[in-house]
A and B are shown apart, each in its own frame.
Chain A
Amino acid sequence: MAAMVTSTKTVTKKTVGSGGKLSGPNGNGSKRRDGFLEPDPRANRYRIGMWVALASILMMFTALSSAYVVRAASSNDWVPLTMPRVLLLSTALILISSITMAAARRKLRAGLESAYKQFLLATALLGFGFLFSQLFAWKQLTRQGVFLTSNPHSSFFYLLTATHGLHLLGGLLALLFLLARTGWQTEKASGIATRQAAADAVTIYWHFMDALWIYLFLLLFLWR
């Protein structure tokens, strides 16, 4: 990634020796001999950046859900959908994918490269399965004559599933990126911390997308 070209490359090199321990700035970092704290290994920025990004994604879905609640109460044209059965399959797929993702992360930590790769692949396949299952739900609904503009509940159903699906697609791209990286940099010691951080960030994101789907599922079919 070109993101690594400019900044604190040297700092990372210096801190690799400190046992891969993660350090926060000026707080829980590793001590240098002169009593000052080593600047943070740059690997940590992926985790921090991911949490920050999730805060913003959470705000967007909060906004959309409050719109959902307000719109549901604002008129009598709200016709609740009957839940397409295939959504249960979606839910199961994404729940399992969270488990495989967590396993992948553990395998990388344990240094088991090939197991890591297999679990990543499983997660990606489950993720694609989820998206196809969602598309199938759309297809079922359109067959019943329920479209985006049919009524506010269907509008929100399509909107929320599409927005979630797009975010999940982003997660899938990240998974493919991790998979691609298993091919290179595996031998280099300096790559390990970065790869772990990247895997951590993707894991956090993936779990978040899982939880978000459960939340949306409950919102869409309990709050109606």
Chain B
Amino acid sequence: MSVETHEAVHRHEPPKGFIRKYIFSLDHKVIGIQYIMLALAAVVVGMLMSLLMRLNLSWPGTNWPILGTLFPTGAPGGVMNPEFYLSLVTMHGTMMVFFVLTTAPQGGFGNYFLPIQIGAEDMAFPVLNMMSFWITFVGFVVLLSAIIFAGGWTPSTATVGPIGGWTGYAPLSALGQIAGPGQGMGMNLWIISIAIFCVGSLLGALNFITTLLNMRTRGMSLMRMPLTCWAWFTTAVLALLSFPVLLGGGILLLLDRLAGTSFFIPGGLYVNGLLSGVDARFPLHTGGSPILWQHLFWFFGHPEVYIAILPGMGATSHILATFARKPVFGYRAMVFAIFAIGLLGFFVWGHHMFISGMSPYSAVAFSILTLSIGVPSAVKTFNWLGTLWGARIRFTTPMLFALGFVSLFVAGGISGLLLGQSSLDLPLHDTYIVLGHFHLVMGVASIFGMFAATYFWFPKMFGRFMSESLGKVHFWITFVGVYCIFIPMHVMGLVGMPRRYSSFGEYEFLKSLHPLVLFVSIAAIITIAVQFVFYFNLFWSIFRGKKANDNPWEATTLEWNTTSPPPHDNFAGVIPTVYRGPYEFAVPGAPNDFMMQTDSGAEVTSGNGGNGHKH
């Protein structure tokens, strides 16, 4: 396309050796792909765990011979026991939240595309970038080892890790082996894994922020950045400020477990037949505050859900504008909405703790702040709709997933308005409605954002398209599937079905829900199965996909100025100069229906802003 032709003498050649090129690479693009591969591996583990949970819930007491062989103590005779189920709950959550929803959107796509979109040749600190990935990878390995060494240093088959949930609530998480199977060495490894993950994420966040502030190319003012960059930047700020809190909490928790302090363990505890300070297996603890852990955890935990979803929002805005062939409606409002969501995200952690016995006054304050997040969220939603309004939409697979993101974000967000009110949360807390809510809005919506990003940027990353027909099969079955899985959960929650229970056989009032439970499981099995179509499409297309040119979607931002895939230094030594905003589609008087950020074309008026736009 219309690259400014400065002299191309400043090329940097990629390193030659295999290890420096693909393993310990300093190239942000390779590191981005490494992150994506890590997420692709972790998501399979997390997904298989959710499959096992569904099997146990729908067909309780059924003998699954393979499980009996793999986990003779966790699933004796092939029937999963409750502790095994709880460990699946815990590890599914941990795997998905940390190693999928935090790595792929930010570490993966952010790493790959942030430097290119701002016209930089790499991240500000390439060595830190490499370290951040490999530290995260070590965290992943330690988490896997928590699955294997749940009981001690000998491989255990009783559980697949700790059983306390991904929130690791004290005091059970602070007590050690006496709190249950998997809570011994498994829990230690879990905490260490999370602490390692924190360090990796912090290095990444540091790099993102510095890169964005310091490395933008000529003409790339803040308000000319693609919304993806704003989203990654805000996400990095959230990670930078929230992960240290989790790290601090994790250190306190580890000290309680290993050094015998009492930060989170209250006195006089009686656990599994043991009284604190009486039995040698349960040393004396006094005066700790379990609620303190909840505060520290959720101060991190709430921003974490925005860490998961903001990059999806950025990608969605980016992709909607591209395939609607229209500027993003209200670009500035979108930027401020991202910031507002990020900022408010730090003041609402208490809404996870309404039943912790907090003062009703603080509950009201947390409630009001929580509901006020609805305002920037609505700004974003209406601006997405405004972008689509009257557009001649190109229904490609990435566009379908971006539209799916909007749909899921709204559908999942609505129940947030219920759960955010302390009076309504008291009865609904820890029921399936919470499960339905957060899976739709932070789980599936974020993943849809990443699917959209994958289909959209795949041609740039590998120079080939992913198969559109397989992509559409993947989209429609997944889209219908996730609604079939998570909408019924809202109904179950309203009836009063509690989360994290391995079976409901003893509860008469839940018996009538069993057909719904079965329906959800069948939908889940189908949805999981179709994900392998995606995997096949992904790996098949890397080698066999239809060839793509440099700008196959006729998009405007800098990544489409370079070759597909981009060279080692992104622009082959030619630093691009930016003359205009990121989403200049259908500019009046322009020769094409899109103007790239590098098009100087001074005679054409700027088309961004979105209002009063003609078609």
Chain A residues with a Cβ under 8 A of chain B: 1-3, 5-11, 24-26, 32, 36-40, 42, 44-45, 48-49, 52-53, 55-57, 59-64, 66-67, 70-71, 74-78, 148-149, 152, 155, 159, 163
Contact = CB atoms under 8 A, between A and B. Distances in A.
B577 A36 contact: yes
Q: Which 8 A-B pairs have the closest CB atoms?
A: A75-B287, A60-B244, A63-B248, A10-B10, A7-B122, A63-B245, A77-B287, A59-B244
Given A25-B215, A59-B240, A59-B244, 9 more contacts: A10-B10, A25-B214, A26-B219, A38-B218, A48-B209, A57-B244, A67-B248, A71-B287, A71-B288
B26 A6 contact: yes
A71 B210 contact: no
B124 interface: yes
A52 B206 CA distance: 6
Contact of A70 (B123, B218, B244, B292): B292
Contacts of A66: 295
B76 interface: no
> Chain A contact residues: over half helix, strand or loop, or mixed?
helix
A41 to B, nearest CB: 9
Contact of A45 (B10, B124, B252): B124
Contact of B214 (A40, A74, A76): A40
B549 interface: no
B301 to A, nearest CB: 13
Residue from A24, A53, A148 having most chain B Cβ neighbours under 10 A: A53
B289 A71 contact: yes
Contacts of A1: 127
Interface residues of B, number: 61
B261 A49 contact: no
A37 B217 CA distance: 9
Nearest to A76: B287
Contact of B248 (A10, A49, A60): A60
B240 A55 contact: yes
B314 to A, nearest CB: 20
Interface string B118-130: 0011111111100
Interface string B211-232: 0011111111110000000000
Contact of B245 (A2, A7, A60): A60
A53 B241 contact: no
Nearest to A25: B216
B287 A74 contact: yes
Contact of A7 (B121, B220, B260): B121
Contacts of B286: 75, 77
26 contacts: A3-B127, A5-B26, A6-B568, A7-B120, A8-B122, A10-B573, A25-B214, A26-B216, A26-B221, A36-B219, A38-B218, A40-B214, A45-B124, A48-B124, A48-B214, A56-B206, A63-B248, A63-B249, A71-B263, A75-B267, A75-B288, A76-B287, A148-B255, A148-B259, A148-B260, A152-B262
